[in-house]
Amino acid sequence: MWALFSFWLLVGGLAGGAAAAFAGFMDFMLVPQIRRHFSSWSHMLAAIVLMALAAANFVARWNDPLSAVMPWGLFLSVLSFLVLSVAGWLGGKLVFEHNLGPGVKGKS
């Protein structure tokens, strides 16, 4: 049961990640202040890696979600968590340190 739940959570995560990737890429391309910060480039790269890991995890679990959990499903999930933590930290740095983000005017 938990393997099936995690498969569907992975599907939801991919869908949400795709929506966030679209919004983030539009911000990245349309707001010149964002591209001036190394953190924004690092955040984008971490997000791309995260989406690739999630897609690989999805493909690995496609035929049989239960048997794909060990060892590769667990490894990809832990690695995804670590990359997500880095991407989140970098996103927070963009918002709180550089004042960049939705509804926030860039100061530098």
Domain residue spans of the chain:
2-96
| Lookup: tokens for 46 | 């971490």
Q: Which two tokens stand for residue 23?
A: 């919004």
Residue 63: what pLDDT?
84
CA–CA separation, 57 and 11 (whole Å):
10
- pLDDT of the residue at 102: 65
Q: Considering the chain, what is the average pLDDT of its residues?
A: 88
Q: What is the pLDDT of residues 16-58, one digit of tens each?
A: 999 999 999 998 898 888 889 899 999 999 999 999 999 999 9
Q: At residue 79, does pLDDT exceed 90? A: yes
Percent over 90 (pLDDT), the chain: 47
DSSP secondary structure string for all residues of 5-59: HHHHHHHHHHHHHHHHHHHHHHHHHH-HHHHT-HHHHHHHHHHHHHHHHHHHHHH
d(CA 46, CA 102): 19
Which tens digit of pLDDT belongs to each residue from 51-61? 999 999 999 88
